[in-house]
Structure 1
Amino acid sequence: MPGDKLINIGFGNYVLAGRVVGIVNPSSSPMKRLREDARAEGRLIDATQGRKTRSILVTDSNHVLLSSIQPETIRQRFTQEEGE
């Protein structure tokens, strides 16, 4: 897919910027429920390498990605990619 930008979500893991719908904090009850539902349905991708989950990314394909990077840091990476 030419023109699609990859965003580093930690530990050498990348996601296509155009596929991400939202980046959220995992501490609220609805986000915990989202994570468990995705795990049960096989839509969860854990990119934390065993570390604490600090952000949850939701894609347009309804997959849920866990990252150990703060949501603000990932947002800054999206902003940097848009500026280039």
Structure 2
Amino acid sequence: MEKKKLLNIGFGNAVVISRVVAIVGPTSSPMRRLREEAKQAGRLIDATQGRKTRSLIITDSNHCILSAIQPETISQRFTAGGSDE
């Protein structure tokens, strides 16, 4: 059985690395639209713990995960293989 690596997205939350398609900033119009569409479809996961959304993580199942961690920080963790630096 293959062990799945997790990506720490902040505040005790994690995502399976192999499911991540993109890590993007939330401020552009297309990303705001994507977030709203995911919310309406029930595919939005809020992992910000009440803090400001700083990144959107898109998965292969088309879920949109909100994180309060900067996209650069998450992508560094992603390229490090999910280790929490």
Scaled to the shorter chain, the TM-score interval is over 0.9
Residues 26-61 of structure 1 deviation map (CA, whole Å, 9 limit, x = unaligned): 000000010011000000000000100000000000
1:4 and 1:37, CA in 2 relative to 1: closer, same or farther beyond 3 A?
same
In the alignment, the residues of structure 2 paired with residue 71 and residue 41 of structure 1 have an alpha-carbon distance, to the nearest angstrom, of 24
The equivalent residue for 2:60 is: 60
Gaps of at least 5 residues in structure 1 are: none
Residues 53-78 of structure 1 deviation map (CA, whole Å, 9 limit, x = unaligned): 00000000000000000000001101
Q: Where has structure 1 moved over 3 Å in runs of 4 or more? A: none
Amino acid at match of 2:57: L
For 1:6-17, what aligned pairs fall within 5 Å after superposition? 6-17=6-17
SS of corresponding position for 2:57: strand
Amino acid at match of 1:66: L
Gaps of at least 5 residues in structure 2 are: none
TM-score (norm 2): 0.92
2:73 matched to 1:70?
no
SS of corresponding position for 1:4: coil
The equivalent residue for 2:22 is: 22
